[in-house]
């Protein structure tokens, strides 16, 4: 009997396989173990954020397909916690267990051009873009898109890696060389009012649920502070959720999907990018919602009914990047002295500037208060007690 004939509901007690082993897999594993599931994680690394809390950590290359098959044979369902998993890996896993979301979803969303073309084809709003395969293409694209613009690698980019902002035509040659890729996309630079995201889930039965609109502030292209609910007009909220549901259905996602948007100054929404998995902007759901994005992912891929997504209270999340460690070990007790603040650390040994090491969340009576508290708690972590410019300053 193939897994395709198996029972639709994967009951607690079963083992879930996670491709990837970072903090998203860690929080997923914590949610899964709380509900009585076992978790196996697979990645090239060991002593990983996910491995530390999983039942079993497989350390092997994604290209080692025999190992991938062996891994999939031992689990009831496979999911992933980051997009850069090769297609062949997913195909090999699919021989022995359902992969949710599917390999097709991963294939579309792990490549900016494929993703944008998919979104355009289905009538979803995206930032104007052009495909770029050479320096000549880049000059033509600049002619069409105008400047300023942002040049991004088509594959394997995240957190602003593999991106260059172009402000004048003379920047083109250097930017193209710096990217060192043969496939890129040039996007119009959006003078946005703000950035928001919608995290939504679709179950095996096609039912959907969303966590509302979350406001995101980035520093150096990396998410810095998220706040829910976002302070956007109700029509923007409705439209953002409508688009997110449309994308979930068009892609046929079973699992969680994040849609990141730019909100233009006239209120128009443009999709920046998709992530077919729990997302950094949804970390605040762990403490702030009835069901977290991680439990929702678990419920969806196991064929369980989705959980309630209601916010318990306004909530904010501040990322803790490796930069914070540069002046010494952060003063954890100073952040814990804020009684409504929750500390999440990912178990990473090595801190590096820009590396996501953990986050704080705070709940309060208003989104503004939640943001103020979480930023104050993060500032208190600095060993010197000093508050300097970004990324530790307050945000709008």
Minimal distance in Å, beta carbon 193 to ligand AMP? 12
CB 81, min distance to ligand AMP, A: 17
The C-alpha atoms of residue 318 and residue 373 are separated, in whole angstroms, by: 10
Least Cβ distance, residue 216 to ligand AMP (angstroms): 7
Minimal distance, residue 353 CB to ligand AMP, in Å = 17
Cβ of 172: how many Cβ atoms within 10 Å? 21
Cα–Cα distance between 275 and 16 in angstroms, integer?
Answer: 20
Q: Which residues pair with 319 in a beta bridge?
A: 359
Nearer to ligand AMP, 69 or 165 (CB): 165
Instruction: Please check whether residue 17 is in contact with residue 55, taking contact to mean a CB–CB distance below 8 angstroms.
Output: no
**C-beta of residue 224 within 8 angstroms of C-beta of residue 306:** no
Judged by beta carbon, residue 190 or residue 380, the one nearer ligand AMP is 190
Choice between 131 and 364, CB closer to ligand AMP = 131
**How far, in Å, CA of 127 to CA of 283, rounded?**
26
Instruction: Report if residue 307 touches ligand AMP, rule: CB under 6 A.
Output: no
Q: Look at residues 119, 71, 121, 115 and name the one whose alpha carbon lies nearest to residue 96.
A: 71
Q: Concatenate the DSSP letters of all residues of 291-307 into one string.
A: S-HHHHHHHHHHTPPPP
Question: Are 46 and 36 contacting, i.e. CB atoms less than 8 angstroms apart?
Answer: no
The region of 132-140, 155-163, 312-320, 334-342 touching ligand AMP under the rule CB under 6 A is 155-163
Is 115 a residue that touches ligand AMP (CB under 6 A)?
A: no
Identity of the residue, 97 or 127, whose beta carbon is nearer to ligand AMP in the bound complex: 127
- Residue position matching structure tokens 């999709």: 271
Residue 3 or 371 with smaller CB distance to ligand AMP: 371
Residues 178-207, interacting with ligand AMP (CB under 6 A): 187, 189-190, 195
- Work out whether 107 is an interface residue with ligand AMP (CB under 6 A): no
Instruction: Indicate whether 221 belongs to the interface with ligand AMP (CB under 6 A).
Output: yes
For residues 187 and 202, the answer to whether their CB atoms sit within 8 Å is: no
Sole binder of ligand AMP in the list 273, 287, 295, 323 (CB under 6 A): 273
Binding test (CB under 6 A) with ligand AMP, winner from 33, 69, 218, 382: 218
Nearer to ligand AMP, 127 or 315 (CB): 127
Strands (E), the chain: 15-19, 38-43, 56-59, 77-80, 129-132, 149-153, 163-166, 184-188, 194-202, 208-219, 222-228, 255-263, 269-275, 315-321, 341-345, 356-363
CB of 271 to ligand AMP, least distance (A): 11
Q: Is 355 in the site for ligand AMP (CB under 6 A)?
A: no
CB-nearer residue toward ligand AMP: 281 or 291? 281
- 264 binding ligand AMP? (CB under 6 A): no
CB distance 317 to 302 below 8 Å: no
- In the complex, the smallest distance separating the C-beta of residue 164 from ligand AMP, rounded to whole angstroms, is 11
* Nearer residue to ligand AMP within complex by CB, 78 or 138: 138
CB 250 within 8 A of CB 122: yes
Residue whose CB is less far from ligand AMP, 272 or 291: 272
User: Of 74, 128, 155, 160, which lies in the binding site for ligand AMP, with binding defined by CB under 6 A?
Assistant: 160
User: 296 near 226, Cβ under 8 Å?
Assistant: no
Q: Which residues bind ligand AMP (CB under 6 A)?
A: 127, 150, 158-160, 187, 189-190, 195, 218, 221, 272-273
């Amino acid at each position: 009997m193939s897994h395709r004939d198996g029972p639709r509901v994967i009951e607690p007690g079963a083992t879930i396989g996670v491709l990837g082993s970072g903090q998203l897999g860690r929080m997923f594993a914590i949610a899964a173990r709380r509900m009585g599931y076992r978790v196996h994680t697979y990645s090239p690394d060991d002593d990983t954020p996910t491995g530390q809390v999983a039942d079993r950590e497989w350390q092997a290359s994604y290209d080692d397909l025999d190992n991938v098959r062996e891994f999939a044979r031992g689990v009831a369902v496979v999911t992933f916690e980051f997009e850069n998993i090769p297609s062949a890996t997913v195909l090999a896993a699919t021989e022995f267990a359902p992969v949710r979301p599917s390999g097709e979803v991963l294939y579309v969303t792990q490549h900016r051009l494929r993703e944008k073309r998919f979104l355009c084809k289905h009538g979803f709003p995206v930032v104007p873009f052009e495909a770029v395969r050479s320096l000549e293409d880049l000059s033509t694209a600049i002619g069409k898109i105008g400047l300023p613009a942002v040049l991004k690698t088509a594959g394997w980019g995240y957190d602003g890696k593999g991106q260059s902002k172009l402000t004048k035509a003379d920047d083109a040659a250097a930017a193209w060389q710096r990217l060192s890729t043969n496939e890129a996309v040039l996007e119009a630079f959006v003078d946005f009012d703000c950035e928001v995201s919608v995290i939504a889930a679709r179950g095996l039965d096609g039912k959907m649920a969303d966590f509302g609109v979350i406001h995101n502030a980035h520093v150096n292209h990396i998410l810095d502070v998220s706040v829910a609910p976002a302070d956007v007009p109700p029509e923007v909220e409705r439209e953002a959720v409508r688009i997110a549901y449309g994308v979930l259905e068009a892609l046929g996602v079973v699992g969680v999907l994040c849609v990141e948007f730019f909100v233009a100054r006239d209120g128009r929404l443009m999709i920046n990018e998709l992530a077919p998995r729990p997302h950094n902007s949804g970390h605040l759901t762990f403490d702030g919602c009835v069901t977290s994005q991680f439990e929702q992912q678990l419920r969806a891929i196991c064929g369980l009914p989705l959980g309630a997504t209601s916010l318990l209270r306004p909530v904010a999340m501040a990322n803790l990047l490796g930069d914070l460690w540069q002046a010494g070990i952060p003063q954890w007790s100073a952040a814990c002295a804020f009684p409504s603040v929750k500390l999440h650390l990912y178990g990473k040994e090595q801190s590096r500037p820009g590396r996501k090491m953990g986050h704080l969340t705070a709940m309060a009576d208003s989104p503004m208060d939640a943001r103020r508290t979480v930023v104050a708690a993060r500032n208190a972590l600095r060993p010197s007690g000093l508050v300097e410019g970004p990324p530790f300053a307050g945000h709008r």
